[in-house]
Each structure stands twice: as structure tokens, then as C-alpha cells.
Amino acid sequence: MKKQILIIAIIFAVFYFFRLYNIGNRVSFGWDQEQFTYQVKQLVKDHKPVLLGPRANNDRGFFLAPYFTYLITPFYLLTNLHPKALMYFIFFYDLLFFIVCLLFLKEIFGLTHSLFFLALWSINPLIARYDFIPRWPILIPIGTVIVWRILKNLELKKSILNWITLGIVLGFFINMHIQFTFIVIFSLFFIVFDRVKIELNIKKIAFMLGFFALTFTPLLIFDLRHDFLNTKLVLNFFKNGIGTIEPNSTSWLPVFANLIQPIIYFKSTPAIILFYLTIAVIIIFLIKNKKNYLKSFYLTTLILWFIFPLIFAKYGQRPSEYYFVFILPFIYMIIVDFFLTIKKSYLLCVFIILLIAFNFNKLRENLNPDYLSLIYRDKLIINLAKVTKKKKFNISYTVPLGRDAGFRYLIEYYGIKQTGNWSDPLIQIKIPADKNCLIKEGDIGVIIPKELR
């Protein structure tokens, strides 16, 4: 028992170190973060309910429900609406993810499986970077593991409550990011394969689908108020697509290569194909060597493994790496379960050591300060408030495209008032900072005109 606790403590320390070390200098405050921070302010200060959350894909996409905004609101209440609430949220989320994976994977696969899974998850530099970016997709991996546990419950406990929970969880997480659709597909196939053991009937399906639909209530209310605007966006999305360039069925491959590089080290096309086929063969091996829940789990995983490339090929646009995070828990559990099934746990230990060696530089780079992060923006605006107190001025931005995001909320938060009269002196927020900047924080500077000095 003491040995197990020590191993858990070591893995937990590694997990938290690569996510929270120097987090004050790394957590971002860009366009997404400013958007939902304003939503929280609207909810708390103006007492106006938020009905829209993230937008699927781009400005031609449709909206999802705003559950992420409601989820982070308690953290903003702790900070009087200061964006440093995002750091508290990340601290809480990463702790919750570790606990959920440890307990749920232990119940499904066993303690050894859960520990090896968390060890592999801890040292992946790409995942570690995503785990401290406060935005919607951060929740997708924990949602995947939770769904696995609920599907296990469908076999163990025949209560209708499990079906209600499944519907709510699938609806909640699909409103975090549209990629969770793959987990919905996975769940539906699992239910079909396992229909005898879970005693499937119309009543259970009706409860699941009903509560799944219920999670879209905020969007329905919005549509009723705005002539079904979001529904029209959904229909247009599927009818006309979202890309402005010619679809390319292979555009997702380089992104998938980036995703799996921390696992296999190489990014070449032959390496991707070999990895893909290897995982497929391992899944087939596990199907033949498992029973009950796990057999259905891997049968469904095999279908998902073949479906997701087809859907991304049909999508035809280049996604970001985080569009694939739904599949990472599957990949790691497949690898872990394979080596433990063939009773070669020492090979997993060797694999972990190799991954640390392969990814050491990237893991170390993750820990470096981001000189455009929240902390530097915050310090800059605090100093700007002191310099401009009781003076007339306006603010402009000389920054790369999109880098002005985040400043406006902080300017309002610290009560910096602009006149709107462009004959008044103009302050420039500049990225990168140069010698003309009177105020400098990280890579950000402020040029103060002589009239205000």
C-alpha cells in the first residue's frame, strides 16, 4: 500500500510540475479568454444570462451552449472578476483530471493501468501545453474518461439514472467543443454492441436522448429570441461547409503527425501510416483477449479508429492539433493495456524513459515564461493606469494581428478612461517593445507621448 501511494505521489508531482510550474508567467489571456471573461462580467455585474458559448470552427460556424462560462464563473467571483481566476481554474481542473483518471480508470481497467496511463499523459509536452491553456477544449479528455466510466456503469447498474447521466454528460461536453461528437458516436456504437448486457430498451434510449437534447436549452432560448439564427447557421454549416479554400482530404495528416510525434518521435508519412496500422492491429488483439465490457469497448474503439480519418478527410480543412485530443486517451490506454495484457510492464517503463528522452527539450521549453501572457499584460496596464491618471488620452495598438486581444478588458478593469477625442494624445501599446517604450513588461511596451510625461 505504501509503495502504491509513493508511486501515485511521484506521478502526481511530475504531472503537476509540467503543468503548473511557473504558471503565473505562462497562462495566456488572448481572444478566447477575453471573450468569456466579458461573458462572466455580463453574468455577474449586469445579471444578464449568457446564452451563447464558443463558435464551432470559425465565423461561418454555429454557436454551442455557454457552459464553460458558467463553469469558470465561481473562480472569477474569488478574484473580483480579475482574469487571474484562470490560473485557479487550471489548478482545479488539472487536479480534478488526475483524480478522475486515477479512480475511474482503476475501476475500469485496474490501478496499474491508471498509473501507467497518467505517467504517459504527464510527460507528453503537447498535452502538458494544452492542460494550462484556459479554453473549452481543455475539458475534452476528462469528458472522454467520464463517458468510459458511465458506459461501464450501464453494465454494472441497470438504473435509468445512468442513462440520464450519459445524456447530460454527452450534451455538456459536446458544447465544450464539437470534436466531442466522436465520443457521442463511440457511445452509440458501444450501446449497440453491448445491447444485451445493458438490457437496452426504448425507455432508456428516450431518457438518454431527452436529457442530451435538454443540454441545448440555452441555444433554443436564443433561437426563439432571434428568429432561429443559430439553427440557420447550423443548416448553412452542413449545407455549404465552412472553408473558403478548396477542400483537401489529406490536410489533416500533417496535424495528426504533430499530435503523435511526442509518442513516436517521427513525423514522416510512412511513420504515421505504420503507427496507425500498429494501433489498429493492437486493438484487434485486445478484442480477442478481452471479455464483457472491455470487448465491447475495444470493438467500438476500432470503429472509431477507422471513422475519424474518414470524417476529417470529408471535412477537408486543416484543423488544429487540439481537434484530435479526444483520441489521445484511447491511444494511451490501448498502448498501456497491450503491454500489461502480454505481461511486459517493464517494456512500458522503457517506453516511458524513451519518451522522456525524446521530449525533454519540448517539456523544458513549455516551462519557459510567455512574455505576452496574462501576468505581463496585467503589470503593463497597472503601470499605464498610474501614468495616465487624471489625463486625457486615447490608446492605439501597434501589434501583430490578433495580439490586441486581452488588453481592453484589463484597461476597463483598472478604470482607465479614454476620451474618444482623437485630437487628444495617443498612447501606443506595442509588440514587440522597443527603445521608444516608456513602460515595458516582457515583450510588451507602451509608447507615451511627450504631452503625457
Answer yes or no: do 210 and 129 share one domain.
Answer: yes
pLDDT in tens, the chain (453 residues): 788 899 999 999 999 999 999 888 999 998 899 999 999 999 999 899 999 988 876 666 788 999 999 999 999 999 999 999 999 999 999 999 999 999 999 999 999 999 999 999 999 999 999 888 899 999 999 999 999 999 999 988 778 999 999 999 999 999 999 999 999 999 999 999 998 888 889 999 999 999 999 999 999 999 899 888 888 888 887 776 655 567 788 888 888 999 999 999 888 888 889 999 999 999 999 999 999 899 999 999 999 999 999 999 888 788 888 889 999 999 999 999 999 999 999 999 999 999 999 999 999 999 999 999 999 999 999 999 998 888 899 999 999 988 888 899 999 999 999 988 888 899 999 999 999 899 999 999 999 998 887
Answer yes or no: do 327 and 438 share one domain.
Answer: no
Answer yes or no: do 288 and 387 share one domain.
Answer: no
Q: Write out the residue range of the structural domain in which residue 260 sits.
A: 2-366
Which of residues 336, 366, 396 is at a domain's end? 366
Which of residues 343, 366, 389 is at a domain's end? 366
Answer yes or no: do 209 and 355 share one domain.
Answer: yes
Answer yes or no: do 446 and 352 share one domain.
Answer: no
Answer yes or no: do 310 and 416 share one domain.
Answer: no
Answer yes or no: do 203 and 329 share one domain.
Answer: yes
Answer yes or no: do 405 and 311 share one domain.
Answer: no
Answer yes or no: do 10 and 96 share one domain.
Answer: yes
Number of folded domains that form the chain: 2
Answer yes or no: do 354 and 388 share one domain.
Answer: no
Buried/exposed code over 151-184 (b: 16+ C-beta within 10 A; e: otherwise): bbbbeeeeeeebbbbbbbbbbbbbbbbbbbebbb
| Dihedral pair phi/psi, residue 266, rounded to 5° | -95, 155
Which of residues 366, 383, 405 is at a domain's end? 366
Answer yes or no: do 328 and 386 share one domain.
Answer: no
CA-nearest of 268, 261, 264, 256 to 308 is: 256
Q: What is the pLDDT of residue 83?
A: 95
The C-alpha cell of 343 is what? Answer: 505481461
Q: What is the pLDDT of residue 268?
A: 82
* Residue 301 exposed, middle or buried by CB count within 10 Å (0-12, 13-18, 19+): buried
Answer yes or no: do 393 and 352 share one domain.
Answer: no
